[in-house]
């Protein structure tokens, strides 16, 4: 199998389309015959990253890279960045607005979920520049 790459755009505040990138990624991985348990973990992690871009960022994109031994998801946004990554990673920590909390977001579980679902997980963030989340799952 060659290395395959895909890219998905994620708009800020676009709740109608939120989840589409994750859904497409899930479909691609199914077609590639990836193990169902791994697809599930990737679907969860990608969805949380996608929703965070919609809710907390100015917009961004998600890259999917599949090679013979691993699947890599990179979620990148254009800001505003995360001031304190350690704090943001804590289960239950959320700065979500009342409006999105009313929709069921804001449990402060997204980043912990992503970490739990990944074999390798990394957050890089710079205020004013943006956040990049890299997740690798071995297959």
Partner 1 sequence: MINQICEKINARVLAGANQSHREVKGVYICDLLSWVMSHAKKDDVWITVMSHANVVAVASLLDLGCIIVPEDIQMDQDALIKAEEEGIPILSTSMNAYDIAVELNKLGLGK
Which parts of this chain interact with Mg ion (CB under 5 A)? Answer: 52, 110
Cβ–Cβ under 8 Å, residues 105 and 99: no
Taking the least distance from each CB to partner 1, the nearer of 87 and 127 is 87
Cβ–Cβ under 8 Å, residues 81 and 127: yes
One residue of 8, 110, 118, 125 binding partner 1 per CB under 8 A = 110
Applying CB under 8 A, does 107 fall inside the site for partner 1?
yes
- Interaction site with ligand ATP (CB under 6 A): 48, 52-53, 55-57, 77, 80, 82, 88, 93-96, 105-111, 131
- Interaction site with partner 1 (CB under 8 A): 15-16, 18-20, 22-23, 26, 40, 43-44, 47-48, 51, 103-110, 112-113, 116
């Amino acid at each position: 199998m060659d290395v395959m790459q895909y890219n998905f755009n994620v708009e800020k505040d676009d709740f109608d389309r939120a989840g589409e990138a994750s859904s497409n990624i899930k479909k691609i991985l199914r077609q590639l015959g990836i193990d169902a348990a791994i697809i599930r973990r990737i679907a969860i992690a990608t969805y949380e990253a996608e929703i965070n871009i919609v809710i907390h960022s100015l917009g961004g994109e998600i890259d999917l890279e599949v090679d013979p031994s691993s699947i890599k998801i990179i979620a990148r946004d254009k800001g505003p960045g995360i001031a304190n990554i350690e704090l943001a990673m804590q289960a239950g920590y959320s700065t979500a607005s009342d409006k999105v909390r009313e929709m069921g977001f804001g449990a402060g579980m997204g980043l912990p979920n992503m970490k739990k679902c990944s074999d390798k997980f990394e957050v890089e963030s710079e205020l004013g520049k943006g956040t990049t989340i890299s997740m690798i799952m071995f297959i």
